[in-house]
C-alpha cells in the first residue's frame, strides 16, 4: 500500500474510532439517566439491567481512546467534543415509561453495533489487526446488550 493511501486509511480509522467512542459516552449517559429516572412495576429488574449495561459501555471507553493514541491520533477531550461527534441522540425526558426506555436503548445499542461494523471495515482497510481484534470484542458486548433488551421487549 502506498504511504499516502495508508495515511488516509489510518486517519479514517481513527475518525471512526473517535466517533464510536463518542457514541459510547452518549449511550453511557443515557443508560445511566434511564437507570436514575425509571419507575413502574419492573423497577428493580430494569434498574439493575441498565446499571450493568452502563458499566459495560463505560468499561470499553478507555481502550478505545488509548487505541487512537497508540496509532498516533488524538482522541476526545471534553463533553463538547463528545457532543460534536456523537450520533446517539440526547433524551432529556425524565418521565418516559419503562417500555419506551427499553426500546430506545435497544435501538441505540443496535446503532452502536453498526458503528462497530464500520470501524471494523476501517481497521481492516488500515491493516490494523490489533484494532480489528478489539472491535470484535466490543461488537460482541454491544450485541449482548441488544439481545438482553430485545428479549425484555417480548
Ligand atoms: Fe445507581
**What is the reported pLDDT for 152?**
97
- Ligand 1 centroid to Cα of residue 43, in Å, is 12
CA separation for the pair 136, 154 (Å, rounded): 27
- Ligand 1 centroid to Cα of residue 75, in Å, is 28
Q: What is the pLDDT confidence band of residue 23, given thresholds at 50, 70 and 90?
A: very high
The domain ranges of the chain are: 3-153
Residues in the chain: 154
Instruction: Name the 3-class secondary structure at 89.
Output: coil
Mean of pLDDT values over 39-68:
98
pLDDT at 47 over 90: yes
**What is the reported pLDDT for 2?**
65
The class that CATH gives domain 3-153 is mainly alpha
- Ligand 1 centroid to Cα of residue 124, in Å, is 38
- Ligand 1 centroid to Cα of residue 63, in Å, is 24
As a whole number of Å, the CA-based R_g of the chain is 16
Amino acid at each position: 500500500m502506498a504511504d499516502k493511501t495508508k495515511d488516509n486509511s489510518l486517519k479514517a480509522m481513527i475518525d471512526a474510532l473517535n466517533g464510536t467512542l463518542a457514541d459510547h459516552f452518549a449511550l453511557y449517559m443515557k443508560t445511566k439517566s434511564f437507570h436514575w429516572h425509571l419507575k413502574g412495576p419492573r423497577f428493580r429488574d430494569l434498574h439493575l439491567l441498565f446499571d450493568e449495561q452502563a458499566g459495560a459501555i463505560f468499561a470499553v471507553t478507555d481502550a478505545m481512546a488509548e487505541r487512537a493514541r497508540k496509532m498516533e491520533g488524538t482522541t476526545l477531550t471534553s463533553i463538547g467534543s463528545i457532543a460534536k461527534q456523537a450520533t446517539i441522540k440526547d433524551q432529556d425526558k425524565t418521565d418516559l415509561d419503562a417500555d419506551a426506555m427499553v426500546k430506545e436503548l435497544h435501538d441505540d445499542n443496535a446503532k452502536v453495533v453498526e458503528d462497530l461494523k464500520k470501524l471494523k471495515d476501517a481497521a481492516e482497510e488500515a491493516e490494523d489487526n490489533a484494532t480489528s481484534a478489539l472491535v470484535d470484542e466490543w461488537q460482541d458486548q454491544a450485541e449482548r446488550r441488544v439481545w438482553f433488551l430485545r428479549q425484555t421487549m417480548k
